[in-house]
Structure 1
Amino acid sequence: MSEASDADDLVSRAARVLDLLGDQATPVALSNIARWSEIPKTTVWRLLKILRANGLVEREDVGYVVGPRLVHIAALPEDQELLRASAVPFLVDLHVRTGAMVSLGVLAGSEVRYLERIYGHMAARTPSYGRTFAPAHCTAIGKILLAYAHDRPLQLTRPGALVPVTSRSITDLDELSAQLAEARNIGIAVNDGEFVRGVRCVASPVLDGHRRRPIAAVAIGDAASSLDVNRASVLIRQTAFAVSVAVRAAAHARRGQIHRADLSRGYRLMG
């Protein structure tokens, strides 16, 4: 194996370890990291040593957690944190009403980045369960955001780019384009077993107040046998609209605080 291939393999394995740790709420033992990542235990030990030296992983009790440097890198931008904080009460309300998983996500290239997930112990394992990122073309949130995107991510236009996850995943660009056109027309996108077999999700966009463009999307997901698309569409539209209003109000309040702080600073300088 060439030196370049060795380096690529090392980076790939390190990324797998970091993904695994990032999805866990408690420290993970070395043996579990090796088993779950399917990487030899000695290799995992060497990777953890390198990652710890660079602040990307920390040893805690009997296991490992993501380090402060990685937490800083992954921290949400201020506007996305405002979005998440504004959305959470409405996501919780919808989860309580339905018992289904409710998610908030943004488009990150050809993937969806989940900012928040609300679910219970009995929730179906939807696309966002235990994940930070997911392929946009396989998810309801991804589809509705792609539907409004002016420039489709280049990664999705290349031959073979639409990698299937299940037998129902869309792999044809023309078929995806037709679905995106319909989603843009009705303001709703559906994922029917395209990421997780037997799981259905419905998503609607959260709109920017000035340009009326999506800044995020919310989705509700459950077992296909339990989630009625028509009822879910009504509920998720209501939630998305409420989040849009809340985000605009929070952004307006923040601008007012900044303006008052600037005025106060100016008065102090003048005095």
Structure 2
Amino acid sequence: MRTAERNHDVSSGDAATAARLAALLAAFRPGDDALGVSELARRTGLPKTSVHRLSQHLTEHGLLEHDGTALRLGLKLFEIGQLAVRQRGLVDTARPLLADLREATHNTVHLAVLEGVEVVYLDVLRGPDAPRLPSRIGGRFPAHATGVGKAILAFSPDGVVDEVLSGGLPRISRRTITSPALLRRQLAKIRDEGTAYEREESSIGTVCVASPILDAAGHAVAAISVAGSVNRIRTERLAPAVRTTALALSRTLR
């Protein structure tokens, strides 16, 4: 079998398995407490043997739980759902302020959170004067190479920063910071000033200024940034607007 055919078969199998797992979880309806294998098979159209095998995998990961001989949704799903609700609430709350920031700067505005050693972009409002950027909603980028990532890391517990450093600092562009000592010095300065700068570290020709969104304990829960072309924006001039928006959003979310 050629490599392309083998990869296609693996991808097809993965997709089919994911569809069956999703069907099992979606079989539970409002008012359902626990369902037996036979009822799950009837609702999903899957063979009982498949339901039994797939449910074992789901229970191992906490997505389903045993209730006698029946099954019910696991607490892990509740935890994931709470994360989704919080992120959706963050986006909805931030959107008006981000729209105002885009209108004022005419450049692209980002909202991102940290997940592991990467930032995940929850919202991207592209500005009319902004160049095409690699960021997209749902996209990921190494935290150390972005303004939002550095803004979050500067106001995160030491263990979070240590995790990023222990994984190495891969070079994304020729200007990416790859020295742990230099990154730590930058994070200390960001803590003092409340703003972070990214100067062509994620892509050549792009710069940005970012500020963290803080909880009541002073820890970053997210960050916002304004990004644009190195030849068209002056990040230091935009810093007060970004910082003010981040502070307003921090107060609103508390």
Same-fold status (TM-score > 0.5): yes
* CA drift at 1:79: 1.8
Gaps of 5+ in 2: 21-76
Query: In 1, distance between residues paired with 2:144 and 2:134?
Result: 12
1:134-171 alpha-carbon deviations (Å, 9 max, x no partner): 1010000110111111223444333x711101000011
Residues 47, 123 of structure 1: CA spacing in aligned structure 2 closer, same or farther, 3 A cutoff? farther
Q: Is the aligned partner of 1:191 residue 2:154? A: no
Using the TM superposition, name which of 147-156 and 236-245 deviates more. 147-156
The answer to whether residue 157 in structure 2 is matched with residue 156 in structure 1 is no
1:219-248 Cα deviation digits (max 9, x unpaired): 000001112122210110121122123223
Q: Which residue of 1 aligns with 2:224?
A: 218
What is the DSSP-based 3-state SS (H/G/I as helix, E as strand, rest coil) of the residue aligned with 2:221? strand
- Of structures 1 and 2, the larger Rg is shown by 2
What is the total number of aligned residue pairs between the two structures?
Answer: 194
Partner SS for 1:53: helix
Identity %: 33
Question: Quick check: 2:151–2:212 contact (8 Å CA) kept in 1?
Answer: yes
Q: Which runs of 5+ in 1 are unaligned?
A: 1-39, 58-71, 249-271
User: In the alignment, does 2:185 pair up with 1:178?
Assistant: yes
Structure 1 pair 205–53 and aligned structure 2 pair: CA distance change class (3 A): same
1:246–1:171 distance in 2 versus 1, CA, 3 Å: same
Write the distance in 2 (CA, Å) between the matches of 1:50 and 1:120: 41
Contact 1:205/1:215 (<8 A) preserved: yes
Identify the residue that residue 117 of structure 1 maps to in structure 2.
124
CA drift at 1:43: 4.4
Q: Secondary structure at the match of 1:191?
A: strand
Q: Does structure 1 conserve the Cα–Cα contact (< 8 Å) formed by 2:196 and 2:209?
A: yes
Greater Cα offset, 223-232 or 121-130:
121-130
CA distance in 2, matches of 1:217, 1:90: 13
Answer yes or no: is 1:244 the counterpart of 2:250.
Answer: yes
Give me the whole-angstrom Cα distance separating, in 2, the residues matched to 1:181 and 1:217.
17
Distance verdict in 2 for CA 1:186–1:120, change over 3 Å: closer
TM-score, with length taken from structure 2? 0.68
Distance 1:122 1:41 in 2: 41
The Cα of 1:54 is off from its aligned counterpart by: 2.0
CA distance in 1, matches of 2:80, 2:206: 28
Query: Contact 2:155–2:218 at 8 Å: present in 1 too?
Result: no
The reply to whether residue 46 of structure 1 matches residue 52 of structure 2 is no
Alignment partners' CA distance in 2, 1:112 and 1:234? 23
